[in-house]
Amino acid sequence: MRLYVNIDHIATVRQARMTDEPDPVRAAVLAELGGADGLTVHLREDRRHIQDRDVDLLMETARTPINLEVAASEDMITLACAWRPAQVTLVPEKREEVTTEGGLALGAESQRGPLAEAIHRLQDVGIRTSLFIDPDEAAIHVSADLGVEAVELHTGEFANTAGAARVAQLARLADAAALARSCGLAAHAGHGLTYQNVAPVAAIPELEELNIGHSIISRAVFVGLERAVSEMAHILRRERPS
Ligand code: PXP
């Protein structure tokens, strides 16, 4: 189980003042020292947090793999192909959303066409590809047909429910992870995971990577980033001793 730490939220604080601190590139060093296996950054089309300069510098300085999240637009795929991060996760993007609200819509040919083209361009330059999808059977089959290496299962509904509804969402994630694996896809997950809710998700044996941001950065405000990351890494190791 790999822990990828999403450092967008550091850039969000910086952009609130349009200044040069806190710097997500410096944060990346602390995340790595705390035990992050990789770093996730989402370059949004409106550049509301991560900037091109951040990705430039991270590509040069990070010691762990970069998972770049982008929409499957022409401009973003051109940038990604130039940067060549280890992995690109294609995500849906709406300007008005506060954060990514759901998985990619894969139902119509008009939605799958641009994704197929983006995946092809990324794979052509050696980038591992992943699709951020809802944990649904149909989305997994379409992802497998599109030829990606991995899917990231959206854990938002799991995170936003409680009691019996959460138990049902956990089962949905476990089924989706198992189906993804049986289709030959690596299974990742993320969104809304916290120190309080992550354990049962981390325990799903077919999952191999979690992307976690907001909860870690929130704790880091109080305990520091290195410690916040190492406390999350500890939970993952407890659930999945290697
Ligand atoms: N995975 C994806 C695709 C995301 O868009 C986000 C949010 O930026 C995350 C994971 C991490 O979510 P959170 O910040 O809620 O941990």
Q: What is the β-pairing status of strands 38-42 and 87-90?
A: unpaired
Counting from 1 in the atom list of ligand 1, the atom nearest the Cα of 212 is: 16
Q: What local confidence, expressed as pLDDT, does residue 136 receive?
A: 96
pLDDT in tens, 86-135: 999 999 987 777 777 788 888 878 889 999 999 999 999 999 999 999 99
pLDDT tens, residue by residue, 163-213: 999 999 999 999 999 999 999 999 999 999 999 999 999 999 999 999 999
Residue 43 has pLDDT above 80, yes or no: yes
CA atoms 197, 89, 110, 178: torsion sign: negative
| Residue 69 annotated to the active site | yes
**Known catalytic membership, residue 191:** yes
Token readout for 37 is 């296996």
With a 6 Å cutoff on the Cβ, whether 24 touches ligand 1 is no
Q: What is the pLDDT of residue 105?
A: 86
Q: Which pLDDT belongs to residue 35?
A: 98
Give the side-chain half-sphere CA count within 13 A for 180: 33
Number of neighbouring beta carbons within 10 Å of residue 106: 21
CA distances to 155, 158, 162, 172 from 166, in Å: 11, 5, 5, 10
Question: What mean pLDDT value characterizes the chain?
Answer: 96
Assess whether pLDDT exceeds 90 at residue 53: yes
Residue 11 CA to residue 188 CA, distance in Å, equals 24
Give whole-number Cα distances, 237 to 205, 231, 241, in Å: 12, 10, 5
CA–CA dist 159, 223 (Å, integer): 23
Kindly tell me if the per-residue pLDDT of 30 is higher than 80: yes
Question: pLDDT (tens digit, 9 = 90+) per residue, 57-86?
Answer: 999 999 999 999 999 999 999 999 999 999
Question: Does the pLDDT value for residue 162 go beyond 90?
Answer: yes
- In this prediction, residues 123-151 reach a mean pLDDT of 97
Return the H-helix or E-strand segment holding 68: strand 66-70
| Burial class, 23, CB count within 10 angstroms (exposed 0-12 / middle 13-18 / buried 19+) | middle
Domains and CATH numbers, the chain: 2-239 (3.20.20.70)
Rounded Cα distance between 25 and 22, Å, is 9
pLDDT of residue 97: 72
- Please tell me the distance between residue 230's alpha carbon and the centre of ligand 1 in angstroms: 19
pTM to 2 decimal places: 0.96
- The mean per-residue pLDDT over the stretch 229-239 comes to 98
What confidence score (pLDDT) does residue 96 get?
72
Q: How far, in Å, CA of 159 to CA of 170, rounded? A: 9
Say if ligand 1 is within 6 A of residue 42 CB: yes
